[in-house]
Homo-oligomer: A and B are copies of this chain.
Amino acid sequence: MDLLTCYARMLTIRLFEEAVERLFHEGRIGGTAHTCIGQEAVAVGVAAALQPQDAVTSNHRGHGHFLALGADPGRLMAELFGRATGYSRGRGGSQMMMDVRCGFYGGNGITGGSIPFAAGLALEAKMRGSSRVVVCFFGDGASNQGVFHETLNLAALWKLPVIFLCENNGYAMSTPVKRGLACPQVADRAAAYHLPSSRVDGNDLLAVRQAVAEARQHARAGQGPTLLECRTYRLSGHSRGDRREYRQAHEETEAWQREPILRFAAQLRDQQVADEAALRACQAEVRQQIEAAIRFAEESPLPEIADVATGVYA
């Protein structure tokens, strides 16, 4: 993934998520969604380090992970609109989409629920002798679930090719990390499984890409999992209806100063990868793409009610 594509992907995520918030506000979509504004560099940094055979598992805040891997914003949006053209034909909603062709093995409504699933994908890859590496996205809050512990232990014991990638955005819903975790850093937990770990600035796309690439090499070399903690910040609310009374306005204002997209744009300009005009063109294109996605979704048919109970079994 070249750097300009990285930029475009981050922008796609940002504009997609902003659209989601607007559409909720306008009552054009319902249900629930967790947006990832401010965390775009993690998702795209990961995607940029992966190979086509690799796999990714996600959580409740997964639009960005999916878009980073190249999801079609139209079909993603259609899922949020509950349309037949959505990735899960309207059945899944925001938290439950999957597209194995781009390596996206699904989100999960249960915090921590997909952590063992990711390790299982890695187990299959290892037993089959494939060169696949799996990235397992989860949040700081999910690291308090028992299944996190069980899975890291097993994956470490069996040296599975999986990267446990924590997006530490400072909060689990309203709970700040220091009231959720008894240890100062998520990465501290690696010691319990004798795993290598590192902390990365999750708002620095290149740092994320680099760390993932290294962890990927480690896994490919048969050395097993790595626990990567990417520090970032959720600039949006946890989900719809979050009044954000658990944090102060200035905290968010400050965090906006560190947001990843403007920062990456500046890097691109500094390194002369792209000039202002190129970035503008990219922005315009992404904006159009998102508008088209909304149109596609809104014009798509609803799923057939007659089929509602079909397909429970393979």
Contact = CB atoms under 8 A, between A and B. Distances in A.
Q: Chain A interface mostly helix, strand, loop or mixed?
A: helix
Chain A, interface size category, equals 20 to 34
Contacts of A145: 146, 150
Contacts of A189: 191-192
Contact of A191 (B147, B152, B157, B183): B183
Nearest to A195: B182
A144 interface: yes
A194 interface: yes
Contacts of A156: 182
A24 interface: no
Contacts of A191: 183, 188-189, 191-192
Nearest to A144: B153
A144 B179 CA distance: 24
A230 B216 CA distance: 37
Contact of A182 (B148, B153, B179, B181): B153
A240 B154 CA distance: 28
A238 interface: no
Contacts of A180: 157
Contacts of A193: 182-183
A191 B194 CA distance: 11
A158 B268 CA distance: 46
A190 to B, nearest CB: 8
A162 to B, nearest CB: 13
A183 B192 contact: yes
A150 to B, nearest CB: 5
A149 interface: yes
A30 interface: no
A184 interface: yes
B194 A192 contact: no
Interface in A148-181: 148-150, 152-154, 156-157, 179-181
Contact of A149 (B148, B154, B179, B188): B148
Given A146-B146, A146-B150, A148-B149, A188 B192 contact: yes
Contacts of A147: 146
B192 A184 contact: no
A181 B156 CA distance: 9
Contacts of A192: 149, 182-183, 188-189, 191-192
B179 A157 contact: yes
Given A146-B146, A153-B182, 14 more contacts: A144-B149, A144-B153, A145-B150, A146-B148, A146-B150, A148-B149, A149-B149, A154-B182, A157-B182, A182-B194, A183-B192, A188-B192, A189-B192, A192-B192
12 contacts: A144-B153, A146-B146, A146-B147, A149-B150, A153-B181, A153-B182, A154-B182, A182-B194, A182-B195, A184-B194, A188-B192, A191-B192
